[in-house]
Amino acid sequence: MSAEVEIPYAVKPHPVTGLFNGKFGIWLFLASEVMLFGALFSTYVLLRVGAEAWPHGYSLLNVPLATLNTFVLILSSVTMVMAWASLKMGDFRKFRLNLGATILLAFVFLIVKSFEYGAKFEHHIHPATSTFYAIYFTLTGLHGLHVIGGILVNLYLLLPGSALWRTEPERFTNRIECAGLYWHFVDLVWIFLFPVLYLL
């Protein structure tokens, strides 16, 4: 390792902005994510407005499964906050439990989603079938990739990354907070996707 340079406000919040660098960074990253999904939702609106006929999501997609998934993701957001809160209170055991639950729920979400996808593929329904399915698969697929990304980050923080707790607890808590912000965003995207694709 090279002689590490001490970066100001890497752990402690800046007195003016009230943010440590990582938290500021993750907010900016989420802003760019808003633009990414914003562009995709705009695409949805434009294609739907321009279409001669547009199917209702509930007549083609499995609403009960998606409702279940919505609750699964909301629950995972709750456990994510609790993981962070447990660290704030210094309870590492409870943190592991909660973060583990978050990861587990994320897997439940993906499994349910793969059942939905599988049922469509069985009926020979693909992204190429129609514009509705094209945007459905693209949006939910990209969201799914974000879920997988979140699982990877959380798994890292649960297993090898958690060694940091013993040496730099504040820094580790900060990391969980950033991972949490990202995870809530992934949850939030789904909360928009669900009504737009399944209910409208």
Partner 1 sequence: MHEQHHEHHEPGFWRKYIFSVDHKVIGIQYSLTSLLFLFFGFSLMMMMRWQLAYPGQPLPWIGRLFGEANMPEGVMVPEFYNQLGAMHGTIMVFLGVVPLAVGGFGNYILPLQIGAPDMAFPRINMASYWFLFVGGVVMLASFFLPGGAAQSGWTSYAPLANIAPTGQTAWLIGMIFLITSSLLGSINFIVTTVQLRVRGLSFFKLPFFVWAQFVTSFLLLLAFPPLEAAGVLQLMDRVAGTSFFLPSGLVVTGQPLEVSGGGNPLLWQHLFWFLAHPEVYVLILPALGIVAEVIANNTRKPLWGYRTMVYSLIFLGFMSFIVWAHHMFMTGMGTAMSTFFQATTMIISVPSVIILTCLAISLWGGSIRFTVPMHFALAFIPMFAIGGLTGLPLGLTASDLHLHDTYYVIGHFHYVVAPGTIFALFAGIYYWFPKVTGRMMNEKLGKLHFWLSLIFMNGVFTPMLLIGVAGVSRRLYDQTGYAHGAAVQDLTVFSSWSAWLLAVAQIPFIINFLMSMRKREKVRSDNPWEATTLEWATPTPPPHGNFPTAPQVYRGPYEYSVPGRSADFWPQHLPEEAESTQPRPATT
Near partner 1 by CB under 8 A: residue from 89, 98, 104, 137 = 137
Spatial separation of the C-alpha atoms in residues 199 and 98, rounded to whole Å: 31
Near partner 1 by CB under 8 A: residue from 75, 110, 112, 134 = 134
User: Residue 168 CB, nearest distance to partner 1 (Å)?
Assistant: 16
The token duo for 1 is 């390792």
User: Residue 65 CB, nearest distance to partner 1 (Å)?
Assistant: 23
The token duo for 123 is 């009926």
Q: Is 122 in the site for partner 1 (CB under 8 A)?
A: no
Are the C-beta atoms of residues 105 and 72 closer than 8 Å to each other? yes
Q: List, as own/partner pairs, every contact residues 118-124 make where C-beta atoms lie below 8 angstroms and the sequence separation is at least 24, other chains included.
A: 119/62
Q: Is 104 in the site for partner 1 (CB under 8 A)?
A: no
Q: Is 29 in the site for partner 1 (CB under 8 A)?
A: yes
The token duo for 10 is 């890497």
Q: Is 14 in the site for partner 1 (CB under 8 A)?
A: yes
User: Residue 106 CB, nearest distance to partner 1 (Å)?
Assistant: 22
The token duo for 81 is 């906050």
| The CA-based dihedral angle spanning residues 177, 183, 185, 188, taken in that order and rounded to the nearest 10 degrees | -130
First to last CA, the chain: 54
For partner 1, which is the closer residue by CB, 19 or 60? 19
For partner 1, which is the closer residue by CB, 62 or 131? 131
For partner 1, which is the closer residue by CB, 23 or 113? 23
The token duo for 182 is 């990202």
The token duo for 39 is 């562009």
The residue ranges that bind partner 1 (CB under 8 A) are: 1-3, 5-10, 14, 17, 19, 21-22, 24-25, 28-29, 31-33, 35-40, 43, 46-47, 50-52, 126-131, 134-135, 137-138, 142
